[in-house]
Amino acid sequence: MAADAFQQYLEKTRTLADLSAAVAVLGWDQETYMPDGAAQGRAEQISTLSALVHQMTVERGYGDLIRTLSDSSNGNGLEEWQKASLKESLRDLEMATKLPEEHVRECARATSLAQHSWKQARAEKNYALFADALAHLVELKRNEAGYLGYAENPYDALIDQFEPGMTVAQLTPVFTRLREGTRVLLERIAAAPNKPDDAVLFTDFDKEKQLAYSREMVAKLGFNFGIGRVDLSAHPFCTSFGMTDVRLTTRVFNDDLRSCLFGLIHEAGHGMYEQGVDPAYTRTPLASGTSMGIHESQSLFWENMIARSEPFWQWAFPGLQSTFPGPLGSLDASGFFRAINVVKPSFIRIESDELTYNLHIVIRFEIENALINGQITVADVPELWNSKMREYLGITPADDAEGCLQDVHWSFGGFGYFPSYTLGKLYAAMFYRQMKREIPDLEAQISSGQFANVLAWLREKIHRWGKSKRSATLVMEICNEPLSESAFLEYMTGKVERVYGLG
């Protein structure tokens, strides 16, 4: 009986998975190959298919099936993954039904307008042009928190959409200690007598060669081109149409060697996660990464812990040098490692280094929390932003375009999203510390270009579980401790000491 009902449920999840995959294909094509003139038609196609996904998600018969199966799931002989799948479906259903249609429509309208006014405000460096739209979005998001429900802090309800179960109460002490540890490290860096020079990275590198080198590199790391591919787009991303079809994109600049290579390795980290989910979860709600934070941990692991490490370049540098003998001829592996790890406070989040990046996130987190809790208003944001930049990073934006207007997220209503980025860094460092304990010769493997054990470890501990385990469970099971900043600060201290000749 339960087996029959579960089969019925699976048929529905497959339809939903296939429709969602089609939406993802439409989105991928839009960013890679679609001709410009097709934009309006494509927006309509995506909107129609997304509406069908929503309709099917909230359809009464399907909801009843999920609830009935979930209610009886302890006694009906379902396997663990089947129960986890039901749990995800129930979460999707609740997310989709808790929000009144009127609210969803108003959010769509408001974000569409806000994106327009944000673009204008940023271009004209005039925050006032965005303030009203932002205030409306904040109000809508406060309402949304009410609809979704929360135990303690309305901002929790928003964070939960991207990192299920994460709360302000958990994040605040971690972020505070992270900020303090970062301050200490930045002071040591400022006092360092011997600063690395990264000018060589911004000379002239053939774009075709960069792309070919980067593709080969992610294949060596373990991205499977038999079930994935790489294309170009204005902004790098990873998207998946199921674990057997994972698409990465990157971009290439002649005068910045980092963008294509590290961008693609980052996306390949996301991609290997998607490719590694247990095939048994195909076309179920479990067939994807479990949270934004864990997803980001996988991309950052490969980008930073592996591909910005000294052992990695001991192995890889000769190949890179022979690809670009002109610009890199007089450099060595250690010099290259130092160049790609320069730490320097900067105004723009996406251009900042591994260490100061988190300070941008902490500022967003603190401001979002205050906005959603009504402790500040939209009018307070620019001055608060600038004073926090001064306090944490020691620099003051010249205008709001390089300050609080720099990121698109708020304009599409993405409150609660920013913490994921730093969560990714913290998780990645925790996983790395644990991996070193379990693979004692890890650095030796990396410095000889062997990544099979690294990938196998991530597969075994993280990838294969897809969404069947929440991030807190994964972290606790893998590291035997909850989220903390200590592994990250330990890792960054080690790296900074090598790069700046300290210690």
List residues binding a second copy (CB under 8 A): 14-15, 18-19, 21-23, 25-26, 29, 33-38, 40-42, 44-45, 48-49, 52, 224-229, 231, 241-242, 244-245, 282-283
Complex with a second copy: residue 18 or 391, whichever CB lies closer: 18
As measured in angstroms, the least distance from the Cβ of 197 to a second copy is 39
Q: What contacts 107, CB < 8 A, 6 or more positions away?
A: 140, 144, 413
How far is Cα 190 from Cα 467, in angstroms, rounded to an integer? 42
As measured in angstroms, the least distance from the Cβ of 224 to a second copy is 8
Catalytic residue (choose from 88, 144, 163, 267)? 267
Complex with a second copy: residue 177 or 229, whichever CB lies closer: 229
As measured in angstroms, the least distance from the Cβ of 36 to a second copy is 6
How far is Cα 358 from Cα 340, in angstroms, rounded to an integer? 18
For tokens 């990192």, name the residue.
163
Q: Give the CA angle between residues 292, 296, 302 to the nearest 5°.
A: 160
**Helix spans in 252-343 (H):** 257-275, 292-300, 310-323, 325-328, 333-339
How far is Cα 27 from Cα 45, in angstroms, rounded to an integer? 10
Complex with a second copy: residue 50 or 126, whichever CB lies closer: 50
How far is Cα 479 from Cα 482, in angstroms, rounded to an integer? 8
Complex with a second copy: residue 24 or 306, whichever CB lies closer: 24
As measured in angstroms, the least distance from the Cβ of 221 to a second copy is 17
Q: Are 363 and 389 in contact (CB under 8 A)?
A: yes
User: How many residues does this entry show for the chain?
Assistant: 503
How far is Cα 236 from Cα 251, in angstroms, rounded to an integer? 6
How far is Cα 326 from Cα 334, in angstroms, rounded to an integer? 18
How far is Cα 395 from Cα 13, in angstroms, rounded to an integer? 50
| Calculated CA dihedral for residues 87, 267, 296, 469, nearest 10 degrees | 30
Nearest to 82 by CA among 96, 92, 72: 72
The DSSP secondary-structure symbol of 163 reads S
Complex with a second copy: residue 33 or 187, whichever CB lies closer: 33
For tokens 């998946």, name the residue.
240
How far is Cα 93 from Cα 9, in angstroms, rounded to an integer? 13
Complex with a second copy: residue 113 or 280, whichever CB lies closer: 280
As measured in angstroms, the least distance from the Cβ of 438 to a second copy is 30
As measured in angstroms, the least distance from the Cβ of 243 to a second copy is 8
- Establish whether 267 is a catalytic residue: yes
As measured in angstroms, the least distance from the Cβ of 41 to a second copy is 4
CA atoms within 13 Å, Cβ hemisphere of 256? 9
Q: Which residues are tagged catalytic?
A: 267
